[in-house]
Structure 1
Amino acid sequence: MPRYSGRAPGHVRNAFQDAIDAFFEWNSGEAEPRVEFADREIKISAVCSLVWNCTDILPMHCRNTLGYCDIEPRARTYAAAARALKLRVKEELELDDISKPVPIHGGTTSSGCPHGDG
């Protein structure tokens, strides 16, 4: 799949926004979420790769969702958010492999994100 530098097409940015939402809804112990892109479903980590070098500014509602999950990108771009989210996905998958935690009350923490510390 191509990586977009500079400005990414709208359908690519939308897929990344969907990936953020899918991460928010992801419960521990489940397989990595997938989102629709180009008439197929791809893992959210693959969507991160699509915007790896995208300098477009990530919308505030997406930054807020990442914040609810204790993900703080170094900048406000899609690229920075993609790097932070992909790292967090990797950490979650490794954690699931090690501990296999059981979700409590639908899998969410008090912060509202299944992956938050609160």
Structure 2
Amino acid sequence: MNVADIMIHQIGNGALMSLGAHSFASVLNAGEVEGLTFKARILPFRKNGTRAAQPRIMRVVITHNALDYYDARVIYAKGREMVTHYETTDIDAERLPRIMLALDFDGETALNPRVL
């Protein structure tokens, strides 16, 4: 099993299905598997800070860092620029599925505080 397969197993099918996760791929660094990336359906923020009514396809990138934790970043393209919807570092394996599940939220923050 490589790092990407382990991450999929740790996140779990429930959290992945809640995000509508698809297009899974490994993140490579110098030929070594360093993480997992996939596309997810997430409600973006509007300029006024409220959530849009329709989800946007966003890229979720999770990498394994040198401290043996995970870093996560959720990004999407808006025109010619990349917008960061959410970013965090040093997630332990036990919190990873909860953070992924918390991304499926329509409130004022990027993560659902009730899930965390």
- Identify, as 1 or 2, the structure richer in helix: 1
TM over 0.5: no
**TM-score range, shorter-chain basis?**
under 0.3
Q: TM-score with structure 1 length normalisation? A: 0.26
